[in-house]
Amino acid sequence: MPVIAVRPAVSGEIEQILAIDPSAESRLTLIQSAVNHGECFVAEKNGVLLGYGVMNYGFFDRGFVPLIYVDTAHRRVGVATCLFDEFEVRCKTGRIFTSTNLSNLPMQAFLVSRRYVLSGVIQDLDEGDPEIFYSKRLR
């Protein structure tokens, strides 16, 4: 049975990323830069792009995941799990960070399921919807 494969994205896949993620257009600069720097990863199965994510070191020089997205038709089958497995293996810092809006309960449930802990809250990025920072010690 084919498994979900995770690997660095290539620039020719940005169109597929735009096709699955309605918010990707507004993050195109970040995505293009991440692809160019080998910081954007795709999850695929049978050649179908199921999701993607970015990890960089732009947050106080710590491993940081600013973006992850799984195609709505392929959620709850372990796609984000595979992407985060890859990020955590590749992360060069002892702690990895990520953030999400307070309103994003699925992402918070996902992070808690991976034993991420609350690291802080930043107000005033999105009006009325604080940004919650999580982290996990890796080693």
Ligand X SMILES: CC(C)(COP(=O)(O)OP(=O)(O)OC[C@H]1O[C@@H](n2cnc3c(N)ncnc32)[C@H](O)[C@@H]1OP(=O)(O)O)[C@@H](O)C(=O)NCCC(=O)NCCS
Contact positions vs ligand X (CB under 6 A): 67-70, 75-81, 100, 104, 106-107, 109-110, 113
Nearer to ligand X by Cβ, of 8 and 78: the residue is: 78
* Rg value, the chain, Cα: 14
| 7: phi then psi, degrees, rounded to nearest 5 | -155, 165
The one-character DSSP state at 76 is T
Cβ nearer to ligand X, comparing 9 with 67: 67
End-to-end CA distance of the chain: give it in Å, rounded: 33
Nearest distance in Å: CB 15, ligand X: 19
Q: How far is the CB of 108 from ligand X (least distance, A)?
A: 9
Closest distance to ligand X from the beta carbon of 74 (Å): 7
Q: What is the DSSP string of 28-60?
A: HHHHHHHHHTT-EEEEEETTEEEEEEEEEEEET
